[in-house]
Structure 1
Amino acid sequence: MTTTPNTAVKPYANEPFTDFGKQENIDAMQAAIAKVKSEFGRSYPLRVGGRKIETEAKITSINPGNVDEVIGFVSKASQEIAEEAMQAALLAFETWKKVPARERAEYLFKAASLMRERKHEFSALMLLESGKNYVEADVDTAEAIDFLEFYAREMIRLSTVNESQPLAKIPGEDNHLSYIPLGVGVIIPPWNFPLAICVGMTAAAVVSGNAVLLKPASTTPVIAHKFVALMEEVGLPAGVINYIPGSGAEVGDYLTTHPKTRFISFTGSKEVGLHINKLAADTVPGQIWIKRVIAEMGGKDGIVVDETADLDAAASAIVASAFGFQGQKCSAGSRAIIVESVYDEVAERVVKLTEQLRIGLPEHNFASGPVIDNVSYARILDYIEIGKAEGTLLTGGSKAEGNGYYIQPTVFGDVGGKARIMQEEIFGPVLALAKAKDWQDAIAMYNDTEFGLTGSYFSSDEDRIAEALDTVHCGNLYINRKCTGALVGVHPFGGFNMSGTDSKAGGHDYLLLFTQAKLMSRKA
């Protein structure tokens, strides 16, 4: 790739969201949806070291909002192909690690530019494959663009001599600290942000000089393929990103335990994250390093409301946090803990707002769409039955109409702090409301969880807010706003406890996780 040195990188700014209040933007999205639907049923190959590989075994990607529609058939990697991909990545790493950081960053800048030009096309594919509505899909694509540009700028910053970590000077020596890549890593992104998180995890690793094996979620492999094809289009060298969707038990475990795997970057459930961490901790013959695990593993996030809060704002935030993308976000506010003196009033407002949500096809831009697949559908419905025994059903509580995985947005009231629907991550449109004696009791109830990803505290009392900032134990705490919607470079994202390694994606120290610091000292 021929690049022009970018000696004056512009200050970072987030990608603006599309205003779907304007008819021309609705028309553009609908045209993009029609284009994507015209390509339904195509086959998508693996990409290994520049080769496109078709396999007999396929992953069938379907539209969760209309299960009769097949998005595409994606070739499925085996352990043998995973090994081929590992060898291709090892070979590519030997040259890629020597490419100047600024030049590596230029690939990301170019990819961001092309993605911006095709923004609606990426969003439309994601909408149809994952069940997001217009806004949720648009925000996902915007975040992907943000990750590309933010990490490109971060790599340039880290590569600037002694700028990122100035060293004390002593007479007679010239000292320099540089950040060098780790090696070959495995990238395992989730299905719920199938473009943004996939792009962010992959871009961070490759711009740092690593080569990767990308194993996307089996429910959303086509949007991941579209991203890999884009990186190929901008000229990224063969083997730097190898696209190998496949079984977690077969391909994922094989690569996690591989002696040449240097790091595993994972976003998904607590159970799978702990499994990966355990496998990675065991050394195997031929392994000469401790594998690095970067894990974001979900949450049981909540919003605390005291009696001094703006109750309308709190109720709106509770509903937005609980039911955005059908509650299928690791940051989703599936708990609301409300001081008893205002509990009834807030609960009434939450129910009213929830019942205004309309359910239907994402391509028709309904507020609520389907959950991702039949496994999630069955699990969430089971939790709703559990909730009926643990609290008072205030609204929802059953399947919804449609030829897909539709569930009514569901609210339970008077739920005890130890109830399963207050403690376990459901990852669906289910909200539990709990009553606290006072604001301090509410914070204690919030903290009574094994997770610690996001939280919100609604209050107008500055002393209480100060106490909440100090004592609410989560990686991302928001005051008087919803607990979802982290922006790259604005809200570095990652959680405590069983929510993961607090890796802070979109923050200034994230790339350090994909590098190792080397101190070079020379006698003057």
Structure 2
Amino acid sequence: MSAHLTTVAGVPVDTRHWIGGERVASAATFTDTSPIDGAPLAEISRGTPAEAAAAVAAARAAFPGWAATPPAERARLLRAVADGVDRRLEDLSLVETTDNGALLRSHRRGVMPRVAHNFRFFADRLEELEHEDFTTRDHTNHVTWDPAGPCVLITPWNAPLMLATWKVAPALAAGNTVVLKPAEWSPLTASLLADIAAEAGLPPGVLNVLQGYGSEVGDALTSHPDVRRISFTGSVPTARHIAASAAPHLTPLSLELGGKSPLLVFADADLDLAADLAVEQYDNAGQVCLAATRILVEESVAEEFTRRFVDRASRLRQGDPRDEATDIGPNIHPRQLDKIDGFVRRALADGARAVIGGHRGEGQYYAPTLLTDVRQDSEIVQEEVFGPVLTLQTFTGEDEAVRLANDTRFGLAATLVTGDPSRAARVSARLVAGTVWVNCFFVRDLRAPFGGSRDSGVGREGGNWSFDFYCDVKNTVTAPKGWNDHG
């Protein structure tokens, strides 16, 4: 076996970059470890600014040919990538579970099928993309979506391949070329995606994968004058740095930055449903940007809601994510575990009470936690923990519920549970959020816009909104006559 191949869960994975249709090794490496047991998985090529420049150059060289490729052919190749994902679904599931600790059953049944769906959806959307012509004083307006150029896509560690392809698929469908920079804590399935794309027939340089630390290759990518779009999912401080780096070239940005979303439970709600939805927020060990981590319950039903919640939460099984019976796996990295524990310790010292949890487990596991007696202005209520930690507060009416729900600097999502359709409409209209779920959670359709308000991000992707971002939208206005006036 090559020195640059590692075997993860029985699956060979190349640890080098993918640039211009070739594997490229770095002089230095970084160690990728599994959150399941802390064991080292691979030594990954550690990118440098020189390799970042090479990746952008490869994307720039491939852009004219890919942009000129007819939409039907681009769509065919994207569907071929989806077919490759389907064929390797088990490999991708095993590798990603080992690399980031999310449940194997979720990868098999939901996450990896969604990866394939991302490619098929945007292939279909590309072939359907059109805007009805309209007239202005008998002049015809014709709207088109023109490929913008090389795109830099910087993706997070909590759902590595699904969130990467949520960006890669529309960028490629739009006729752009891509430099994908996966998170250093979970880089392995991005490398497998490069193999799948090459096997599907994607031309060299259309998709490039650059591994490494953001602090070492990030600026080289986001400040590059040949980059035409940047899409980033991650933290607010990193987004501010990226925006400053992109500003000199006015490179358009799409930023999805997490949140501190509320779950509002009204007295007329189905409390069993509300408790189920609240416990669902522990999914992926709480490492979900959309998670409704602030539970707001109408005071008159708070005691009964809490009883039902604790009953359900007590049945959750935490352990090895490769076990089909496991409900909650490990947190991604010791540094993230320390961050989560720090939040909880400071909250307890500040007067919060742990109804359940409030402590570490063994290894990289943190006990599912519910904190009450928290102040609205406290750190635990205002800042994103990104772990299995929820808070519970009470309210006495719609106005107070909305005030508490909107009283953070974030605005990614919100969930409300009520038996009154008119209340659902009133409250939804007043919530500051990119997505509002009523009596449900995490129902995602790729036709819908996705993004956040306030510090939860800039812009929307999904459906035609993705093409609006990844393209230069052009309007061509044609006079009704006069073709031969100057002939």
Residue 368 of structure 1 pairs with residue 328 of structure 2: yes
Structure 2 residue aligned with 1:244: 210
219-228 vs 349-358, greater mean Cα deviation: 349-358
Query: Where in structure 2 are the equivalents of 1:97-176 lying within 5 Å?
Result: 97-138=67-108, 139-158=110-129, 163-168=130-135, 171=138, 175-176=141-142
Helix, strand or coil at the partner of 2:76: helix
Residue 75 of structure 1 pairs with residue 42 of structure 2: no
Residue 398 of structure 1 pairs with residue 364 of structure 2: no
- Give the superposition deviation at 1:170: 6.0
348-357 vs 332-341, greater mean Cα deviation: 348-357
Determine the C-alpha separation between the residues in 1 that align with 2:30 and 2:181.
12
Helix, strand or coil at the partner of 1:362: coil
Helix, strand or coil at the partner of 1:333: coil
Confirm or deny: 8 A CA contact 1:157 1:164 kept in the other structure.
no
Determine the C-alpha separation between the residues in 2 that align with 1:422 and 1:265.
28
- Give the superposition deviation at 1:37: 1.5
Q: Report the CA distance shift for 1:342/1:440 in structure 2 as closer, same or farther (over 3 A).
A: same
The AA in structure 2 aligned to 1:436 is F
Determine the C-alpha separation between the residues in 2 that align with 1:390 and 1:208.
52
Residue 488 of structure 1 pairs with residue 446 of structure 2: yes
Query: Where in structure 2 are the equivalents of 1:60-459 lying within 5 Å?
Result: 60-68=31-39, 70-138=40-108, 139-158=110-129, 163-168=130-135, 171=138, 175-283=141-249, 290-321=250-281, 323-365=282-324, 366-388=326-348, 389-401=350-362, 404-459=363-418
Determine the C-alpha separation between the residues in 1 that align with 2:232 and 2:153.
6
Deviations 1:90-120 (A, max 9, x none): 1111211111112111111111122123222
Q: Report the CA distance shift for 1:174/1:478 in structure 2 as closer, same or farther (over 3 A).
A: closer
Determine the C-alpha separation between the residues in 2 that align with 1:273 and 1:390.
33
Q: Report the CA distance shift for 1:502/1:318 in structure 2 as closer, same or farther (over 3 A).
A: farther
Confirm or deny: 8 A CA contact 1:59 1:76 kept in the other structure.
yes
- Give the superposition deviation at 1:307: 0.7
Structure 1 residue aligned with 2:4: none
Determine the C-alpha separation between the residues in 2 that align with 1:94 and 1:249.
30
Helix, strand or coil at the partner of 2:458: coil
Determine the C-alpha separation between the residues in 1 that align with 2:327 and 2:128.
40
Determine the C-alpha separation between the residues in 1 that align with 2:128 and 2:14.
40
- Give the superposition deviation at 1:380: 0.3
The AA in structure 1 aligned to 2:420 is D
Determine the C-alpha separation between the residues in 2 that align with 1:508 and 1:61.
36
Confirm or deny: 8 A CA contact 1:311 1:346 kept in the other structure.
yes
The AA in structure 2 aligned to 1:106 is R
Identity of aligned residues (%): 31
Helix, strand or coil at the partner of 1:295: strand
Determine the C-alpha separation between the residues in 2 that align with 1:390 and 1:280.
43
Structure 2 residue aligned with 1:15: none
The AA in structure 1 aligned to 2:467 is L
Determine the C-alpha separation between the residues in 1 that align with 2:333 and 2:54.
31
Helix, strand or coil at the partner of 1:363: coil
Determine the C-alpha separation between the residues in 2 that align with 1:458 and 1:177.
41
Determine the C-alpha separation between the residues in 1 that align with 2:423 and 2:374.
24
Determine the C-alpha separation between the residues in 2 that align with 1:271 and 1:310.
39
Determine the C-alpha separation between the residues in 1 that align with 2:48 and 2:203.
23
Tell me the TM-score normalised to structure 2 length.
0.93
Residue 508 of structure 1 pairs with residue 464 of structure 2: yes
The AA in structure 1 aligned to 2:434 is G
Selected match of 1:47 from 1, 9, 18: 18
Determine the C-alpha separation between the residues in 2 that align with 1:337 and 1:89.
47
Helix, strand or coil at the partner of 2:74: helix
Confirm or deny: 8 A CA contact 2:14 2:191 kept in the other structure.
no
Deviations 1:360-397 (A, max 9, x none): 11111311110000110110010110221242111111
Deviations 1:137-193 (A, max 9, x none): 2322122112111111111122xxxx324322765x665322111111111011111
The AA in structure 1 aligned to 2:438 is I
Determine the C-alpha separation between the residues in 2 that align with 1:495 and 1:330.
10
Helix, strand or coil at the partner of 1:324: helix
- Give the superposition deviation at 1:59: 2.7
- Give the superposition deviation at 1:521: 4.2
Q: Report the CA distance shift for 1:246/1:74 in structure 2 as closer, same or farther (over 3 A).
A: same
Tell me the TM-score normalised to structure 1 length.
0.86
Residue 498 of structure 1 pairs with residue 459 of structure 2: no
Confirm or deny: 8 A CA contact 1:390 1:419 kept in the other structure.
no
Determine the C-alpha separation between the residues in 1 that align with 2:190 and 2:470.
21
Selected match of 1:58 from 18, 29, 34: 29
387-396 vs 367-376, greater mean Cα deviation: 387-396
- Give the superposition deviation at 1:339: 0.9
Confirm or deny: 8 A CA contact 1:43 1:75 kept in the other structure.
no
Confirm or deny: 8 A CA contact 2:134 2:140 kept in the other structure.
no
381-390 vs 220-229, greater mean Cα deviation: 381-390
The AA in structure 2 aligned to 1:408 is A
Determine the C-alpha separation between the residues in 1 that align with 2:372 and 2:78.
47
Determine the C-alpha separation between the residues in 2 that align with 1:102 and 1:423.
47
Helix, strand or coil at the partner of 1:200: helix
The AA in structure 2 aligned to 1:208 is A
Confirm or deny: 8 A CA contact 1:256 1:279 kept in the other structure.
yes
Confirm or deny: 8 A CA contact 2:36 2:101 kept in the other structure.
yes
Confirm or deny: 8 A CA contact 1:347 1:413 kept in the other structure.
no
Determine the C-alpha separation between the residues in 2 that align with 1:269 and 1:390.
28
Confirm or deny: 8 A CA contact 2:47 2:216 kept in the other structure.
no
The AA in structure 2 aligned to 1:458 is V
Confirm or deny: 8 A CA contact 1:96 1:209 kept in the other structure.
yes
Determine the C-alpha separation between the residues in 2 that align with 1:502 and 1:479.
23
Determine the C-alpha separation between the residues in 1 that align with 2:119 and 2:167.
10
Confirm or deny: 8 A CA contact 1:185 1:262 kept in the other structure.
yes
